[in-house]
Amino acid sequence: MMTESKAKPKAKGTSRASKPRKSATKSKSQPKAGAKAKPGAGAKRANENAASRLIDERIRSLGGWRAETLAEVRRFIHEADPDIVEECKWIKPTNPLGVPVWSHAGIVCTGEAYNQVVKLTFARGASLEDPRGLFNSSLEGNTRRAIDIQEGEVLNAEAFKALIQAAVAENLRSTRHPLLHEVR
């Protein structure tokens, strides 16, 4: 007597093929062969170069004393910290070139040009020592401080570079994980 054998149905969800695929943006697994890699150092450099070009364009568009002042400040920033990263943030239709931003382990400062001043805003300025009294704006805040440079004013280059270096040091200090510090 022949009996009819029925194949045992597979339980739902046990086969890899039956599982829904995770979104590529949420996947934590290694990429498959042939898959595009995440942007690396080359893409990072390309973004930095694009930001530098936007800042160049911003400076050219200003013209006059404001362009000269912002270009000089930019040079001082790079002299103070060769590892500084240039970015353009807050790009919008009313400001298509964005705001020049200099970062190292976080925002160090921004550079904006207004009709009467070039304003350099330090993201953590309130926590920085300013022995030369460069900060002359946004003094009432708990976090930021700014330097307003008016036409004809000369920025103390050495004091400014020291302030940039102090801001980078503060960023590096504040981004360290407390559990990773050495116990002395």
Q: Which residue, among 134, 164, 162, 160, has the nearest Cα to 146 in the 3D structure?
A: 134
> Tens of pLDDT along 139-165?
998 999 999 999 999 999 999 999 999
Q: How many whole angstroms separate alpha carbon 102 and alpha carbon 109?
A: 6
Q: Kindly give the confidence (pLDDT) of every residue in the chain, 184 residues in length, as a single tens digit, with 9 standing for 90 and above.
A: 444 445 555 554 444 444 444 444 444 444 444 444 455 666 666 777 888 898 999 999 999 999 999 999 999 999 999 999 999 999 999 999 999 999 999 999 999 999 999 999 999 999 999 999 999 999 998 999 999 999 999 999 999 999 999 999 999 998 775 555 544 4
Query: String of b and e for 134-162 (b: at least 16 CB within 10 Å)?
Result: bbebbeeeeebbbbbbeeeeebeeeebbb
pTM for the whole structure? 0.71
Characterize the bridge pairing of strands 107-113 and 117-122.
Answer: antiparallel
Instruction: Kindly report the number of other CB atoms within 10 A of residue 8's CB atom.
Output: 6
Give me the amino acid identity at 65.
W
